[in-house]
Structure 1
Amino acid sequence: MAFGVLIIGDEILSGRRQDKHLPKAIELLKARGLSLSWARYCGDERPLLTEMLRQTFASGDVVFSFGGIGATPDDHTRQCAAAALGVDIALHADAEREIRARFGEEANPQRLMMGELPVGSHIIPNPYNRIPGFGIRGHWFLPGFPEMAWPMMEWVLDTQYSHLHHAQPWAEDSIAVLHTHESQLLDLMNAWQARFGVTIFSLPSLGSTTGRRHIELGAKGAPDDVTAAMAAMREDMTRHGHPWCEMAALHDAV
């Protein structure tokens, strides 16, 4: 099952705010033995957001969407989700209950607007202020505030997808190859990938005042296969005369 992330808001695209959701989503998934397949950004533009949601609903992926579920004029995510699915938007009974419990007699129509959700939604509890997010068709719509959104994402992962946690053993390992160009390693990389059934990756670094120029060369996949591939990689680097070191020793390498 693929997991995706949507980051919504003009403030991200304009640079007024820096996105913190993407790295946190990766962290929360990784802690449960899961991984992120894709991420997309979108501003607060209804036609564009509606079309993007049509595409992601059609994908069948599990999607976490951050931002745009409030009641201010620049919040369009609830309405766009409804439009993408071709359903109405209406005050959700559970969301109304949570908002009234939070605000009491001050639960005015403006605040209740945050409980107007696409028909067929179910709420995501918000431990911060009780104003819920919502889920529908494998999409989970969360606030833009990290203090609210991240515990809500954890709740979804742990209550809706616990059966997927650590379901597929996974490992990743790498070494640092020095004084070598990627083109010199392509044949070896293709051979390791075909031989061991892992994904071989190569991440060149131009170096800096705190690190040497190098290529981070590694493998990811089933743990036993990664172990075998990395053993072959280390042996082949030495045999072909490519200097290398473990990543932890990179700053000491000559």
Structure 2
Amino acid sequence: MRAQQRVGLLVIGDEILSGKRQDRHFAAVVAMLAERGIELAWAQVLGDDEARIATSLARAGEDGDAVLSCGGIGATPDDVTRQAAARAGGRALALHEAGAAILRDKFGDRATPQRLRMAEFPEGAELIPNPVNGVAGFSLGSWYFVPGFPDMAWPMLEWVLDQRLRHLHNAEPAEEYRLRVIGTTGESDLLDLMEGLLAAHPAIRLSSLPARHRDQEERHIELGVRGAAADAARAYRELRDGLSVREGLRIEELRPPDAAG
């Protein structure tokens, strides 16, 4: 396992892949992680396919990643996330007594065996409280499963981040500094500069986003460096200085270090 555990996101549902519904979780999760100084390491959108979900979870387990999973934990036949979690974790599904008690208290005589399936979780699972309607989600190790409905999922994920993943909170989150290079240079002409920068500053991450406006001949490349504030600031200054000595380029600073905060 890495010294700093990564966090990944699974958005599950055939309705997302078919376009019947638009995903709203990705942007919300990125934002709530950023508030706590955490970066999202990866994200996947998967259909309601037990084998594929289980494979993704197993891979995350091998990598030691924490997983936030939204969708597919209901009791209808198309909801297979609970089964996939059990499969990936090598556990059997079993009625979670505390989860079942919540359902019996909520539904009374309508707490049918079919409805109680919503409390069938992998053996050893723990509950994730649902402040909206009380029907709990569950966790298995570092995998956290909540419903697909944003109004329920997001407060439940906030609880996970603050109660179960608090050790990942970073009081000094990463900083990103960006500039735009304007001119005729393509990315390939800047590879030596970018590669040298990464070699000198292996802890930072570099991004390069080329673009060309339809009404302009000049190419625009937005370059950014991201990492711990001091490291990123040093790398950014070296990037800017390296670009400044190249002929035919103009530099627009989008977020220099002195603009942070």
In structure 1, what is the equivalent of residue 201 of structure 2?
196
Summarize the alignment of residues 154-193 of structure 1 with structure 2, pairs less than 5 Å apart: 154-166=158-170, 169-179=173-183, 180-193=185-198
In structure 2, what is the equivalent of residue 244 of structure 1?
251
Compute the displacement of 1:101 (Å). Answer: 2.8
Counterpart secondary structure, 1:41: strand
Give the Cα–Cα distance (whole angstroms) in 1 for the partners of residues 16 and 200 of structure 2: 43
Give the Cα–Cα distance (whole angstroms) in 1 for the partners of residues 98 and 214 of structure 2: 54
Q: Indicate the larger mover: 91-100 or 162-171.
A: 162-171
Compute the displacement of 1:193 (Å). Answer: 2.0
Please tell me whether the aligned partners of residues 57 and 137 of structure 1 are also in contact (alpha carbons under 8 angstroms). no
In structure 2, what is the equivalent of residue 3 of structure 1?
7
Letter in 1 for 2:209: L
Please tell me whether the aligned partners of residues 173 and 219 of structure 1 are also in contact (alpha carbons under 8 angstroms). yes
In structure 2, what is the equivalent of residue 218 of structure 1?
224
Give the Cα–Cα distance (whole angstroms) in 1 for the partners of residues 208 and 73 of structure 2: 39
Return 5+ residue gaps in structure 2 as ranges. Answer: 256-261
Summarize the alignment of residues 44-123 of structure 1 with structure 2, pairs less than 5 Å apart: 44-123=48-127
Please tell me whether the aligned partners of residues 74 and 118 of structure 2 are also in contact (alpha carbons under 8 angstroms). yes
Give the Cα–Cα distance (whole angstroms) in 2 for the partners of residues 154 and 64 of structure 1: 11
Q: Indicate the larger mover: 165-174 or 140-149.
A: 165-174
Give the Cα–Cα distance (whole angstroms) in 2 for the partners of residues 134 and 34 of structure 1: 22
Please tell me whether the aligned partners of residues 38 and 173 of structure 2 are also in contact (alpha carbons under 8 angstroms). no
Give the Cα–Cα distance (whole angstroms) in 1 for the partners of residues 235 and 111 of structure 2: 60
Give the Cα–Cα distance (whole angstroms) in 2 for the partners of residues 143 and 216 of structure 1: 37
CA 192–149 in structure 1, closer or farther in 2 if over 3 Å, else same: same
> Between Structure 1 and Structure 2, how many residues are aligned?
246
Percent sequence identity over matched residues?
Answer: 45
Q: 1:16-49 CA distances to partner (integer Å, 9 max, x unpaired)?
A: 1111111211111111001111112221122333
Letter in 2 for 1:190: E
Q: Give the TM-score, by structure 2 length.
A: 0.88
Please tell me whether the aligned partners of residues 125 and 140 of structure 2 are also in contact (alpha carbons under 8 angstroms). yes
Compute the displacement of 1:103 (Å). Answer: 2.1
Counterpart secondary structure, 2:252: strand
Return 5+ residue gaps in structure 1 as ranges. Answer: 249-254
Please tell me whether the aligned partners of residues 206 and 225 of structure 2 are also in contact (alpha carbons under 8 angstroms). yes
CA RMSD of aligned residues (A): 1.9
Q: Is the counterpart of residue 43 in structure 1 residue 47 in structure 2?
A: yes
CA 163–57 in structure 1, closer or farther in 2 if over 3 Å, else same: closer
Q: 1:119-176 CA distances to partner (integer Å, 9 max, x unpaired)?
A: 1000000011011100002100110111111111110000012122115642111101
In structure 2, what is the equivalent of residue 12 of structure 1?
16
Please tell me whether the aligned partners of residues 36 and 171 of structure 2 are also in contact (alpha carbons under 8 angstroms). no
Q: 1:86-141 CA distances to partner (integer Å, 9 max, x unpaired)?
A: 21111111211222232233222222110111110000000110111000021001
Letter in 2 for 1:247: L
Q: Give the TM-score, by structure 1 length.
A: 0.90
Counterpart secondary structure, 1:147: helix
Compute the displacement of 1:192 (Å). Answer: 1.9
